[in-house]
Amino acid sequence: MLVKRQTTAKPTGGRGRGPRGHLAPLPRPGRCPIQGCRNQIDPTRLMCRSHWYLVPKQIRDRVWATWRSGQRAFSPEHKEAVRKAIAACQATVASMSVAAAEKGVPPDAPIADMS
């Protein structure tokens, strides 16, 4: 008697390798969705690295958890997590811009110069 062995494909391409071609809908594929960011990004990424790490870890973890679930990668939970990540980053960038303006840093300065 042959037993059919079930295998499940990993939804990721490995640690930090993205969703194996399953893309989350973004406002501008290939560009970071954070307002004012000009960084080109791989279409499998949500946003550029510098902006991704401005997203609070709890929200980043939720984006990963809902995406890694495989079948739920395009679920309402994942889409909501993506929206929250973008909104959280935009709020952080806005508050950093206000703080930078108070210090006299030019508005188009790179993120590293604002801290």
* pLDDT tens-digit series, residues 77-115: 888 999 999 999 999 998 888 877 777 767 666 655 444
DSSP 4: P
Token pair listed for 69: 């679930």
Residue 40 has a pLDDT of: 92
DSSP 36: T
Residue 7 has a pLDDT of: 40
Work out whether the CA dihedral 54, 58, 59, 62 comes out positive or negative.
positive
In this prediction, residue 57 has a pLDDT band, given cuts at 50, 70 and 90, of very high
Token pair listed for 11: 């939804």
Q: Which of 10-19, 28-37, 83-92 has the lowest mean pLDDT?
A: 10-19
DSSP 20: T
pLDDT over threshold 60, residue 27: no
Q: Position 78: which residue type?
A: H
